[in-house]
Amino acid sequence: MFDFVRKHTRLFQFLLLILILPSFVLLGVEGYSRFMDGSNATVASVDGHKITQAEWDQAQRVQVDRMRQQMPQADAKLLDSPEVRKEVLESLLRERVLAAVVANEHRAISDDQLLNLIATDPQLAPLRNPEVAKQIAAQQGLSVDGLLQRLRQDLQTQGVLAPVAQSAVATETNATLAFDALLQQRELQFQVFSAKDFSATLKPTDAELEAYYKDPKVAAKFQLPESADIEYVVLDAAALGKAATVTEADLKAFYDTNIKMYTAAEERRASHILVKAGEDMSAADKAKAKAKAEQLLAEVRKNPASFAEVAKKNSDDPGSAQNGGDLDFFGREAMVKPFADAAFSMKKGEISNLVESPFGFHIIELTDVRGGQARPFETVKADIEAQLRKQLGQKRFSEMSEEFNNTVYEQSDSLKPVADKFKLTIQKATVLRKPGADATGVLASQKVLDAVFTNDALNNKRNTEATDAGNNQLVSARVLKHLPSRSPALADVKPAVTAAWVQDNAAKAAAKAGQARLAELQKGGDAKGLGDALTVSRAKPGPLSPKALDQVLRADATKLPAYVGVDVGDTYLVVRIDKLVPRDPALIDAARAKDQYARAWAMAEMASYYNVLKAEYKATIKPSALKATAAASAPSN
């Protein structure tokens, strides 16, 4: 067990996360009693209790940290997107609704019920071993009692919706009908009328283009967004660090002072023989175990070369016994304290006296030592210099920030005074109200752009206040020219407008020709021009686009052949449905269909009941909260 726990710590962390604590990844049910905490803005409420912005932000941080652990390479912007933030708030609301039901209905799980569940549920099997339970609890920063309390609370909230899900009983007949409707196949032929086949013959007159461009919907496609030509300066901690003076002596002094930072942690490799003696063992049995261990110790002391063989035959740690007691390399923190203290005080090749731990009596043979040596100064010199420059840059940035802010405010009619004073370069750019997809540096900061587009900056041409752009950067900008949102003159965009006119009218011509062909077929016209027969379904769409496939599968096919016209923008399809084909049995068998249908039904039942609970407990999210989140991350037009 000793070696098993040591080697499977991550397994237990995963088990605890997936099987025991799924509804506590945010704030925990115990947070229900703290609904009223915090004085900041309310973003949602449940049963008259508010959920604050601070609670939402905390839940978001926990969620992002968890996602980063699972996906270390994930884009940080995606992890903090409006969609993720909305999902976090919805999850937080759901958690509070279920907690309110538990509290108001006085739901409870007794100690006997909890212990019986642990004893019978295979998913909770690790908790049956006291030592493993301690290990799992410790990894979550909890005592075993605290872990069990969390489990109890989780089970109470799960008990709100679980009976509803269990009530959804799916029959094979219902599942078959549902999947047949979803995966039905249709044999068809179709003829394509493409806009590009009509565009070559279309030549608009100037009058037609003028009339076309006057359409507000058309003009909106060519509208130029509001913009501002600006000049700006940046007080940047990184730039200040690069300009700082760092000597060789400074680097060496930092290295000597922080030598532990560049020293690899010492690891030891050992083999051991374990004689079990748990805390629940009687004194007599424990004495027998110790006597056995002393006998084994005498045996390996007499013949050290026999250690591996003795371990294989006698060690009570099955994980290492098969390897002759070998535990591989480990750090001090990987082992229980008595074992670690002994192993890290021994010399290579030495065999310890008996070492008692919560697992029993150990005989330890130290077989190797590695680490503990500092990396040479020359190999870390560049890293030290980068670190020192970063520290110096941040220090100078902190010292200069207030004066930078005062200067741009007190001499607000020009950026030259602040640029001269701090030796900064005045840069120029054209910006929109929202950062463009290719925006980088401080011009990607929404805060900076918000400052540029204030009335004072636009109308009075004053410097913006010093704005925190993140990454230890302060920015002040000044508007040189402001251009409101506007429609360009037709002459300036005539080629683009012409192309749009041709595209629109070619699509109309294609649709008109397709509709005429459809009417002809519906009246009994011949099938000339229709392509080869093919079979399509939602699982096998063939050449059809999703929109075209959906319309074909929705078409009334009670009388065959059936005809349908499908307009997909720049293409018009005339389709003849010749035959209905049952679903491909290879896609899903009857048993899997029944199982998936039951799951979908259960999810639908739970969602429906949860919506009833939301209404009963007056659970609402303020629209302004989600609107503000979406606005903060909206892309530039």
pTM score over 0.85: no
In a domain? residue 607: no
Give CA 165 to chain center in angstroms.
27
Q: Considering its fold, how many domains does the chain have in total?
A: 4
> Parallel, antiparallel, or unpaired for β 227-236 and 473-483?
antiparallel
Judgement on whether residues 18 and 75 belong to the same structural domain of the protein: yes
For residue 633, name the pLDDT band (cuts at 50, 70, 90): low
Judgement on whether residues 419 and 331 belong to the same structural domain of the protein: no
Cα three-residue angle 128-129-131, rounded to 5 degrees: 145
For residue 167, name the pLDDT band (cuts at 50, 70, 90): confident
Judgement on whether residues 275 and 139 belong to the same structural domain of the protein: no
Give CA 354 to chain center in angstroms.
49
Question: Is 479 in a helix, a strand, or coil?
Answer: strand
Quick: pLDDT tens for 504-541: 999 999 999 999 999 999 998 888 899 999 999 888 89
Of 174-178, 313-317, 542-546, 598-602, minimum mean pLDDT range: 174-178
> Parallel, antiparallel, or unpaired for β 185-194 and 534-536?
antiparallel
Cα three-residue angle 72-74-77, rounded to 5 degrees: 130
Judgement on whether residues 501 and 537 belong to the same structural domain of the protein: yes
- Residues 327, 5: Cα–Cα separation, whole Å: 12
Task: Give the DSSP H or E segment for 572.
Answer: strand 571-581
In a domain? residue 435: yes
pLDDT at 29 over 90: no
CATH number, position 292: 3.10.50.40
- Residues 167, 403: Cα–Cα separation, whole Å: 68
Judgement on whether residues 385 and 241 belong to the same structural domain of the protein: yes
Answer with the residue of higher pLDDT: 175 or 408: 408
Report which of 33, 32, 25, 28 is spatially closest to residue 60, judged by C-alpha positions: 25
In a domain? residue 559: yes
pLDDT at 90 over 70: yes
DSSP code string of 220-249: HHTPBPPEEEEEEEEEEHHHHHHHS---HH
Domain boundary among 483, 516, 550: 483
For residue 631, name the pLDDT band (cuts at 50, 70, 90): low
In a domain? residue 410: yes
Amino acid 230 reads I
Quick: pLDDT tens for 363-382: 999 999 988 888 899 989 99
Judgement on whether residues 327 and 429 belong to the same structural domain of the protein: no
Q: What is the mean pLDDT of the chain?
A: 85
Judgement on whether residues 362 and 384 belong to the same structural domain of the protein: no
CATH number, position 118: 1.10.4030
In a domain? residue 606: no
Over 399-450, what HEC string results?
A: HHHHHHHHHHHHCCCCCHHHHHHHCCCCEEEEEECCCCCCCCHHHHCHHHHH
Question: Is 581 in a helix, a strand, or coil?
Answer: strand
Q: Which residue, chain included where needed, has tokens 């080697």?
A: 7
Domain boundary among 320, 340, 370: 370
Quick: pLDDT tens for 534-573: 999 888 899 999 999 999 988 988 899 999 999 998 999 9
Answer with the residue of higher pLDDT: 40 or 440: 440
Domain boundary among 318, 352, 370: 370
In a domain? residue 472: yes
Strand-pairing partners, residue 514, are: none
For residue 339, name the pLDDT band (cuts at 50, 70, 90): very high
Of 41-45, 137-141, 342-346, 615-619, minimum mean pLDDT range: 137-141
Judgement on whether residues 95 and 194 belong to the same structural domain of the protein: no
Judgement on whether residues 242 and 384 belong to the same structural domain of the protein: yes
Contact 187, 535 (CB under 8 A): yes
For residue 630, name the pLDDT band (cuts at 50, 70, 90): low
Judgement on whether residues 217 and 231 belong to the same structural domain of the protein: no
In a domain? residue 589: no
Quick: pLDDT tens for 452-500: 999 999 999 999 999 999 889 999 999 999 999 999 999 999 999 999 9
In a domain? residue 446: yes
Residue 163, domain extent? 2-167+614-632
Judgement on whether residues 54 and 145 belong to the same structural domain of the protein: yes
Judgement on whether residues 241 and 364 belong to the same structural domain of the protein: no
